[in-house]
Structure 1
Amino acid sequence: MNRAYLMLIGSVFLWGLTVVPMKWTLDTVQPFTLMFLRLLLASLLMLPFAWRGRRQSPESSAPIPWKRIAMLSFTGVAGYFWLNTYGVSLTSGVNASMISATLPLFTLLLAALYLREQIRPVQWMGLLVGICGVLLITVQPQAGGRHSLWGDILVLASQLIWTVYVVQLKRPQGEEKLSRELFTALSFLLGSLMLLPFAAWETWHHGLPAVSTRSLLSFLFLVFCCTILAYLLWNKSLETIAAAKAGIYLNAIPLFNVLTSILFLNEGMSWRTVTGGVLVLAGVVWAERRSPASRHAAEGL
């Protein structure tokens, strides 16, 4: 196996470890505060290197489309992290991981509605099977009551808003002239600023977070490994591997998150979760058999 595929697998593996450190950090840190600090620190660490690369690039004179990046940050950064992190704080890691596997299905649906891309009958069947799987996972009387249901809904909404972001990227309006590093760093920075009022409100009502050793190490792992390192490995691998081919590997992320949630969070799996997860993954595989749109979902990362 060559170096590019090792970096690709490494990035997918790190993204597949996100749920556990997020849950551990949420033990002592409020959701909005966690999102704000994670995005802000990642952007401040990435921005100097990304800006230096821009100055050395032949396209250094290209203007930065601030309004466009702000709009993309609203959906793909602030909106996604707002819904996903808050949802994870309310539901189980297993449920959140299984529901996150619906991303290709939403991409397929929005590509048809927004980009007018044709969906074949076999893809509609895959979408229907995936939706049935989501319903089995979320509608569980024994899953922890109303809070778990709302958490599932928020995680599901985060996949939908991320798909909106991906579809927006398929019609670029100037952001394609920026390097991936600079675009991501600026998106993180603007996204953190959008979340700042919510984090400030949270701190006002709940006070400063009580930092423990486990929550601090988990937060640093989220920032350096699950955010910065995973992105750099993914970006580097795409220099050799086509995005459509690399995107197939993203389907392994929910499986890693499920396994780590069971191992480290001591979470169980009901028959509904297992059956629903199988249906979601089957629907994704079925829909992606002839779906260039869903395979290109990785281009938004």
Structure 2
Amino acid sequence: MNFNIVLLLVATLVWGTTFPLLKSASATLSGLEISTLRFLAASVVMLPFALKASRQSWRDGALLGIVALIAYITQAFGLAHISSNRSAFLTSLNVLMVPFLGLAFGRRLSAQGVFAAALACFGIGLLSWEGGGNWLGDGLTLLCALANAAYVLILSAVAPRNDPRDLTATQIVLMAILGCLALPFAGESALGSLPQRAADAALPLLYLGLIASAGMLFLLAIAQREVSAEKAAVIYALEPVFAAIFSWFWLGETLGLRGMAGGALVVLAVIISEWKFTRATPVAESANTI
């Protein structure tokens, strides 16, 4: 198996563990607080690389950082209103959004992509019906999926021209700075109590910052130098599967039959959207090539 594919699989597995951790942390911290604190932790280890990064890395890292920060914040806010399982499946729709966003770069939609999108919408309907829907939580999580799709496309474009460590460091440091600047103006609950509330969630925040953010963004910067956005996206389709497993193990969350069917359709749609169908070579044509 290609080494870069293995790196993406590892990143997807680790991301699956973050959903129950984010759900737990959101009980005492807001989405912006969680995102800011996790990137502050990550920036501690990545700052030396950021200080040595080129202007090109800072420009590309700034663009990636803004898009990623939108994804992290909307995901964390959304998790305050919906379950980890639903959040994971809705977030997985970024895989479907990648080819649609590709229209901006002159790509054409295929019948295969349209069918996959319709199948995913039906799956989301079944999934959201489980236990009643929440427009705010689902809407924020879909915005997270859109930001993730944009991130995958942008990363595939800029990764080949940057050092992976520099690209990772610049976007993490920028996200930490933007988060700190936004906190006083975001109407967050009692900033004076933030240190205590952060201490209560110290271990999840350190894991989210050092492992799930710094470590996995670094793996992505390496792998997507060689792996296309489309191929990377289909690997990320495994994230909700891992998230469901970890949510069941840590939080005891379950899905009814309708929810499981909806989630299965979403995953199936994600896979179909990236599956490469090829026609068999005619026998006569094959014989002429011998």
Give the TM-score category using the shorter length: 0.7 to 0.9
Whether the 8 Å CA contact 2:164–2:221 is kept in 1: the answer is yes
AA in 2 matched with 1:288: E
- Identify the residue that residue 299 of structure 1 maps to in structure 2: none
Q: Alpha-carbon deviation of 1:236?
A: 5.2
Is 1:268 the counterpart of 2:254? The answer is: yes
Aligned length: 274
Distance 2:199 2:148 in 1: 32
Distance 2:153 2:37 in 1: 27
Distance 2:224 2:157 in 1: 20
Mark the runs of 5 or more structure 1 residues left unpaired by the alignment.
Answer: 55-61, 292-301
**Residue of structure 2 aligned with 1:106, choices 66, 88, 97:** 97
**Residue of structure 2 aligned with 1:223, choices 196, 209, 212:** 209
**Residue of structure 1 aligned with 2:193, choices 196, 208, 214:** 208
AA in 2 matched with 1:256: F
- Identify the residue that residue 121 of structure 1 maps to in structure 2: 111
Whether the 8 Å CA contact 1:78–1:192 is kept in 2: the answer is no
Q: Where does 1:81-230 land on structure 2 (aligned, <5 Å)? A: 81-112=72-103, 114-140=104-130, 142-143=131-132, 148-169=134-155, 172=158, 177-200=161-184, 201-202=186-187, 205=190, 207-209=192-194, 210-211=196-197, 215-230=201-216
Q: Identity percentage over the alignment?
A: 21
**TM-score, structure 2 as length reference:** 0.81
Kindly report the root-mean-square deviation, in angstroms, between the aligned alpha carbons of the 2 structures. Answer: 3.0
AA in 2 matched with 1:258: A
Whether the 8 Å CA contact 2:50–2:173 is kept in 1: the answer is no
Q: Alpha-carbon deviation of 1:187?
A: 1.3
1:200-226 CA distances to partner (integer Å, 9 max, x unpaired)?
A: 245564542334876211111111221
AA in 2 matched with 1:208: S
Whether the 8 Å CA contact 2:155–2:224 is kept in 1: the answer is no
Distance 1:51 1:194 in 2: 17
Distance 1:73 1:235 in 2: 13
Moved more, 29-38 or 194-203: 194-203
Distance 1:237 1:170 in 2: 9
SS at match of 2:193: coil
AA in 1 matched with 2:125: L
Q: 1:104 to 1:192 in 2, by over 3 A?
A: same
Q: 1:66 to 1:236 in 2, by over 3 A?
A: closer
Distance 2:169 2:57 in 1: 14
Distance 2:250 2:96 in 1: 29
Q: Alpha-carbon deviation of 1:83?
A: 0.9
SS at match of 1:27: coil
